[in-house]
Amino acid sequence: MRRFVYMDNGATTVVDSEVVKTMLPYFTEKFGNASSVHGKGQEAKRVLEESRETVAKSIRAKPSEIIFTSGGTESDNLAIKGVVYNDKEKNHIITSNIEHHAVLNTCKELEKEGFKVTYLDVDKEGFIDLEQLEKSITDKTALVSIMQGNNEIGTIQDIEKIGKICKKNSVLFHSDTVQSFTKTPLDVKRVNVDLLSFSAHKIHGPKGVGALFVREGVKIKPLYQGGAHERGIRPGTENISGIVGFAKAVSLCKSGHVEHMKKLRDYFIDSVLKDIDDVLLNGPRKERLCNNANLCFRHVEGEGLGAYLDVNGICVSSGSACSSLELKPSHVLIAIGLNKELANGSLRFTLSRFTTKEDIDYVLENLVKHVGKLRKISPLRS
């Protein structure tokens, strides 16, 4: 029987009904502008600061260190450009070659402006080489930007060790934690990290809202001019309904959800590797996001397999969602050493706390059927 199973939660998540319920009054009854001095405005100001405190508390930051943005892409841009534009005496950035395009394309634009960028290599599981990182730092290095959890293959970098290297060399450290936020422990009192990017729609919150953690004392230049909103760093009237939804989504995240996803992820990976021949797991087995399984099916075109699954009500991603309309192989899969054929045979399955074992079993049943069907007619099979 056809059913609907959503396993593309790395792209976006369903908004939790409790989040929707919490947001609704801020479109109608409590619609004030947080910069207004009258009652409606101050009502909005209060909930804005309460939401800031909720997000800050989740990473043990100070509320004043949270800047609300439109999402992860803006947060990444603000972090990277904000740091390097603030001190042009230092014109060198270090990142990795498997970052999200919000980081990579920002760095490529900065290269056009004369900035120097070092792109660190990764091993076959997606981990950077810490020795290469340290050797790449110079007296001109302004910032290191390494994501915590990779959006495609789920690799979790050791940001605590990266932070120690950055602190030792007096270099600022930014991490894109859009995929790992609430899924991987993060304590800014313990880990040396200066800037962190977040997004609400990856954790069952609304689209179009996120945040940037900026450690107290770190100076960044605004990307555009306006009013004094968000400490003057991100001008523009705050998206109160979205921010309230973001904070509610954060408050609903529990450690038990992580364990639930991890258990189902392992069951899914083990079952696929057992039931289907010639399948490769991309990324590490252990240090990976609790909800991520990225698999290459040899002699199968990933787009075709994804289309068959879609017809059966199963939503997955053939690479990162932001580039899934492009036909070229994923830059992440190429960076970990896959050839184009293997990379094009990949699918990313990402779970949520709402995923059930019955969902997984339905996906497995269809995978076995459609992989077998496609291999019979595949010109890739010798």
**What type of residue sits at position 81?**
K
Helix axes 39-58, 240-252, angle to 10 degrees: 30
Q: Is 290 a catalytic residue?
A: no
End-to-end CA distance of the chain: 34
Question: DSSP string spanning 120-178?
Answer: E-B-TTS-B-HHHHHHH--TTEEEEE--SB-TTT-BB--HHHHHHHHHHTT-EEEEE-T
Could you say which of 166, 253, 315, 322 is catalytic?
322
**Beta-bridge partners for 118:** 94
Q: What are phi and psi of 66, to 5 degrees?
A: -105, 120
Residue 268 Cα to chain centre, angstroms: 22
Q: How far is CA 343 from CA 222, 301, 302, in A?
A: 38, 9, 8
Pairing relationship of beta strands 314-315 and 141-145 according to DSSP bridges: unpaired
Q: Which residues are catalytic?
A: 322
